[in-house]
A and B are shown apart, each in its own frame.
Chain A
Amino acid sequence: MPKLLESFAIPAAALLVSVILFGIFVMIAGTNPIEVMHSVYIGAFGSWFSWQNTLVRASPLMLTALCTAIPARIGLINIGGEGALVMGGLCAAIVGIQLNGLSPMFVIVSMVLTGILAGGLWVLAIGAFKYYRNVNETISSLLLNYIAIAVLNFLVVGPLHDPASMNKPSTYPIGKANMIGDIGNSSIHYGLIFGITTCVILWFAMRRTTYGFAVDMVGGNLRAAQLSGLAVGKLILVTCFLAGGAAGLAGMLEVAAVQGNANTSLNAGYGYAGILVAFIARHNPLAVIPVAILLGGIHASGGFLQRQFNLPDATTLVFQGIIFIVILASEAFYGRLRWFKPRVSTA
């Protein structure tokens, strides 16, 4: 029980510290911090409209966060969510365009599977480079982001270009019938359901199955895991595939629920924002859900802040940077604070 309490209290305290630091920052910049924080609240959670704004922004972050969180459990720091999202979206769009005209249900399912497959294989390559050639996964995932974006840019002005897209180079549309709509009469598309469901499924896989147990063992102590006969290579590849699949699904949703085709707006930074979500959530797939909503809220309120206080767009970047740094610093306190320790020492 104390451990559970600790895992809530420390992040909460860290968030509070971040808010205070950010308040000091905006105060130095000449703005009233209380008013700013109030506006963040209004812009993010102050009304049903703001909630919808927040949730729409949160849904891709849930999926891209998993792309960092899942490999982290096996000890890999993967920042390749952006590339996997782009490849997932691009390949899903290609399949959607080819199958356009068939039953929409079939087209959408095909696109989902394609997105997962493309993103999954993209990140699987990162795992394979690591396992077979010992290539640093952080660096290779970063390089693959740049490569994925270059491929996307090349294809939308070149071979896949739809001339009707004029000044916004895009592929041909996947067709209105194959678009994923909004939930009920809200303005939130079904991507949110996909995001939450994927988080829950992967939480179950990581926490309640022998696979997840094996992953944690490799992540905790590689040598011990090898000695106990675990197939480390296979575990790394499967884990990377799942991670990339989540980001690829996010790309497919950008195409099928938002853009209607693949274009350079797929590269909108969701992959990079997901890294932050994963670390704040401490790589727990279930914790990714509320953290993504929190970050979605900060993004949602960013525009409101610009308009209310004439603060630059970078204000929310600074806020996120502060939260990230404080959360990481707070790692040092786990297991070290007296009042969270069990009364009777078990050591």
Chain B
Amino acid sequence: MSNEKPNISRRNLLKGVAAAGAVGAMGGFGISSVLAAPKTVNMGFIYVGPRDDYGYNQSHFEGKSAVAKLDWVKAFDEENVPETIEVVKTMESMINLNGAQVLFPTSFGYFNPFILETAPKYPDVMFLHCGGLWKEGYPKNVGSYFGYIDEPVYLSGLVAGHMSKTGKLGFIAAIPIPQVLRNINNFTMAARSVNPKITTQVVFTGGWSNPVKEAEAANSMADQGIDVLTCHVDSPKVVIQTAEKRGIYSCGYHTNQSVLAPKGFLTGAEWNWGKVYKDYAEMIKTGKKIPNLIRGGLKEGIVKSSPYGKAVTAKAKTHADAVRKKFMKGEMIVYKGPIKDNTGKVVIPKGKSYAQTDIWLESMNWLVEGVIGTTKG
């Protein structure tokens, strides 16, 4: 039972979503907006770090700034809100003091218990969490959205695979959580589809923002002959700059970092939240039901690749563009067996495959064959 009716005025996001059946309104009810077609839409955004970190938080801030340009939207935000009771108070304060109708708490750790416990107290307010955790049985006014950023990461890995001469790639990561592991695995599998001898060395820095450790990791990896670096930390600036300084290639993350490495920048994976937030604002304004779960990747326009850098060869571009087309058509399946982890254990047997939307992929706790590193602290 779906509420999705064919509706020409729907934005591409929802059209694509409904057509693919990948995402969309599940469970029979969407969130009904409070006021039928309100005149102004008050939207509150909450970030766990500084709004201009050149990374994850900034990507949301840019999304907020994009939606704030609509003259019928009032958008306000708060930065550096920890995942403690403070986020509850921030949400309540946005509701009570700013009249927020919809909230976008953008950090993963805000969800349980903070959003789940606060939402029932404010049934007229929508709580849309970035993280894709919504399940049947959660409060009606809670929803979630997320982007499959591992798709553009896969494309980065393809380009890296083509460009690497030493066959050694480097990945600087904060901590071994499923989102991070999935990016590492996608990056590695893509590169190994070009050259099966390629390995990816992982260095975990142990924290989301630790510039000195990130720079040290980048230098150590350059010393070991690694010639393409990418990362998953809050702000990739230091990693990209250090790679450039050491004369090796780099792939960006979160936002477009191409200006930081005019010589060695290959491509990168970026968020495109502006689109998501504008779609939500539109739905609220027109009084449409909001699906509880919105997820999508390249096809839905929630994520994208950074433009290719100067160094990227035509062969690499052609290959990556071909795979991008497959992603856009929804035909690309990354996790198709047989896949072994890096201890030699078969994690996905031959004949079995997991589509992008498969929930199993979201609790990933293994590193794929070809990755040098461990998920244990």
Binding site for B on A (CB under 8 A): 42-43, 47, 49-50, 53, 56-57, 153-154, 157-158, 163-164, 166-169, 187, 189, 254, 258-260, 263, 265, 268-269, 299-300, 303-304, 306-307, 312-313
Report the nearest B residue to A312, measured CB to CB. B79
Set B50, B78, B94, B176: member contacting A157, Cβ < 8 A = B176
* A307 and B109 form a contact (CB under 8 A): no
B261 vs chain A, min Cβ distance (A) = 28
Residues A306 and B175 in contact in the complex (CB < 8 Å), given A49-B96, A168-B108, A265-B83: no
* A153 and B206 form a contact (CB under 8 A): yes
* A158 and B84 form a contact (CB under 8 A): no
Of the listed stretches B85-93, B311-319, B335-343, B349-357, chain A binds B85-93
Report the nearest B residue to A48, measured CB to CB. B96
Residues A306 and B78 in contact in the complex (CB < 8 Å), given A42-B97, A53-B93, A163-B363: yes
Residues A168 and B83 in contact in the complex (CB < 8 Å), given A163-B365, A260-B113: yes
Contact with A along B149-183 (1 / 0, CB 8 A): 00000000000000000000000000111110000
Contact with A along B57-69 (1 / 0, CB 8 A): 0000000000000
B67 vs chain A, min Cβ distance (A) = 15
B203 vs chain A, min Cβ distance (A) = 15
* B376 and A307 form a contact (CB under 8 A): no
Beyond A49-B92, A187-B92, A306-B77, 8 additional pairs, beta carbon < 8 A = A56-B89, A167-B109, A259-B113, A303-B94, A306-B79, A307-B76, A307-B98, A312-B79
Set B44, B81, B84, B94: member contacting A258, Cβ < 8 A = B84
Set B78, B179, B377: member contacting A303, Cβ < 8 A = B78
Report the nearest B residue to A254, measured CB to CB. B84
Report the nearest A residue to B95, measured CB to CB. A49
The complex places the Cα of A260 from the Cα of B177 at a distance, in Å, of 20
- B4 on interface, CB distance cutoff 8 Å: no
The complex places the Cα of A189 from the Cα of B88 at a distance, in Å, of 13
**Residue of A42, A53, A158, A268 ringed by the most chain B CB atoms within 10 A:** A53
Residues A304 and B93 in contact in the complex (CB < 8 Å), given A158-B376, A265-B83: yes
Report the nearest A residue to B208, measured CB to CB. A264
Binding site for A on B (CB under 8 A): 44, 50, 76-86, 88-90, 92-94, 96-98, 108-109, 113, 131, 175-179, 206-207, 362-363, 365, 376-377
Report the nearest B residue to A267, measured CB to CB. B82
Chain B residues within 8 Å of A258, by CB: 84-85
The complex places the Cα of A53 from the Cα of B90 at a distance, in Å, of 9
Chain A residues within 8 Å of B81, by CB: 303
Set A43, A153, A260, A312: member contacting B93, Cβ < 8 A = A43
* B97 and A304 form a contact (CB under 8 A): yes
The DSSP consensus for interface residues of chain A is helix
The complex places the Cα of A300 from the Cα of B376 at a distance, in Å, of 38
* A303 and B109 form a contact (CB under 8 A): no
Report the nearest B residue to A157, measured CB to CB. B377
Sample (28) of A-B pairs whose CB atoms are under 8 Å apart:
A49-B97, A50-B93, A53-B93, A157-B176, A163-B365, A166-B108, A166-B362, A166-B363, A167-B108, A167-B109, A167-B131, A167-B178, A168-B177, A187-B92, A258-B84, A258-B85, A259-B84, A259-B113, A265-B83, A265-B84, A268-B86, A269-B82, A303-B81, A306-B79, A307-B77, A307-B78, A307-B97, A307-B98
A231 vs chain B, min Cβ distance (A) = 40
The complex places the Cα of A57 from the Cα of B89 at a distance, in Å, of 9
The complex places the Cα of A114 from the Cα of B94 at a distance, in Å, of 37
Chain B residues within 8 Å of A164, by CB: 363
* B177 and A169 form a contact (CB under 8 A): yes
Chain A residues within 8 Å of B82, by CB: 265, 268-269
B87 vs chain A, min Cβ distance (A) = 10
The complex places the Cα of A42 from the Cα of B96 at a distance, in Å, of 11
Report the nearest A residue to B89, measured CB to CB. A53
* A313 and B79 form a contact (CB under 8 A): yes
* B93 and A166 form a contact (CB under 8 A): no
A213 vs chain B, min Cβ distance (A) = 38
A183 vs chain B, min Cβ distance (A) = 14
- Which 4 pairs of residues, A with B, have the shortest CB-CB distance? A158-B377, A168-B109, A307-B76, A157-B377
* A167 and B177 form a contact (CB under 8 A): yes
* A268 and B84 form a contact (CB under 8 A): yes
B89 vs chain A, min Cβ distance (A) = 5
The complex places the Cα of A56 from the Cα of B207 at a distance, in Å, of 28
B166 vs chain A, min Cβ distance (A) = 30
Report the nearest B residue to A299, measured CB to CB. B86
Report the nearest B residue to A150, measured CB to CB. B206
A329 vs chain B, min Cβ distance (A) = 28
Chain B residues within 8 Å of A300, by CB: 89, 93
A73 vs chain B, min Cβ distance (A) = 30
Report the nearest A residue to B47, measured CB to CB. A313
Report the nearest A residue to B362, measured CB to CB. A166
Chain A residues within 8 Å of B89, by CB: 53, 56-57, 300, 303
Report the nearest B residue to A170, measured CB to CB. B109
A249 vs chain B, min Cβ distance (A) = 16
A81 vs chain B, min Cβ distance (A) = 16
Chain B residues within 8 Å of A154, by CB: 377
Report the nearest A residue to B94, measured CB to CB. A307
The complex places the Cα of A57 from the Cα of B79 at a distance, in Å, of 17
